[in-house]
Amino acid sequence: MKTIKTTLLATLTLLLSITYLHAWQQAYQVHQDNVKPSKIWDYEKVAKEFHEACVEHNLQASWLCATMDDMRYLYVTPIENFADLDKRPFADMAKAMGDKFGDMFDRFDQCYDSHGDYIILLDEELTYMPDGISQTQEGQDYRDYFFIHFKPKNEKKLREGMKAVKEMFATKGSKSYYRMYRTGFGNVDSYYMVAMSSKDAIDSATKQKANEELLGPERYDTFKKVMDYASKVEDMTGEIRRDLSYAPKKE
């Protein structure tokens, strides 16, 4: 029985790998730290020390750091397949730094009560960026995030509604571009996340107002096609932290 369970688990993992990492154009591993309010400054200090150490040792890994207003710190790394999760990019750096490496992570651990890793998937079919898809746009590091939670039984109808929204934006020539991500391996809850880029909060509000006027009152009927199948919708703001993002030196 144990052998059967192990075989089934291995098969399921393989199927998930194929389904998740090939049905979408890009997958990302996300490490999320839920920082305690009282520890935000301590976290910032050690995060910057860690970034400096990565630069010093020319760590062969890369990530984009984003923060949210609820003090989530997200470190996002593109992956090609599940085998990328087995890589140990910090091994040589940890060996070179000795006790200092462990000390940094001990101080990290004092700053949050929970953290973890999961995968999100870029859904190009639902993304609206007619000039080309990019996670980052020069001078637009402010973010609006919308989390659209759903029950698995409603996903098909929800996607149909999202396609209708994208078609409406395209037909009207909207300048409010967005990227659409879906939860993948490692997530228990199911949701789509909409990410929109702006210069700052004022630019974001200006874009949203102009977009509402462009789409007109008929937008409500189209958005309803999404809301009818959403179990919960959350909105959050944040920013890209280029000072905590990292990429190795190019040789």
Nearest to 118 by CA among 215, 226, 29: 29
Residues contacting 77, CB < 8 A, separation 6+: 28, 29, 30, 31, 61, 62, 63, 64
Residue 43 near residue 35, CB atoms below 8 Å:
yes
Q: How large is the average pLDDT for residues 224-247? A: 96
Q: Would you say residue 202 has pLDDT above 60? A: yes
Grouping H, G, I as helix, E, B as strand and the rest as coil, residue 66 is strand
User: In sequence order, what are the residues at sequence separation of 6 or more whose Cβ sits closer than 8 angstroms to the Cβ of residue 166?
Assistant: 126, 127, 128
pLDDT tens-place string over residues 125-171: 999 999 888 888 889 999 999 999 999 999 999 999 999 999 999 99
Q: Domains of the chain, with CATH numbers?
A: 25-120 (3.30.70.100), 122-239 (3.30.70.100)
Angstrom distance (rounded) from CA 62 to CA 66:
13
pLDDT score of 32 more than 80: yes
Q: In which band, very low, low, confident or very high, does the pLDDT at 178 lie, cut at 50, 70 and 90?
A: very high
Q: What angle do CA 21, 27, 29 make, to 5 degrees?
A: 120
207 or 14: which carries more pLDDT confidence? Answer: 207
DSSP letter (8 states) at residue 188: S
Distance CA 76, CA 118 (A): 10
Average pLDDT score over the chain: 89
Q: Give the pLDDT confidence of 66-108 residue by residue, as tens digits.
A: 999 999 999 999 987 766 666 677 888 888 999 999 999 999 9
pTM, two decimals, is 0.85
Which candidate, 162, 158, 160, places its Cα nearest to that of 170?
162
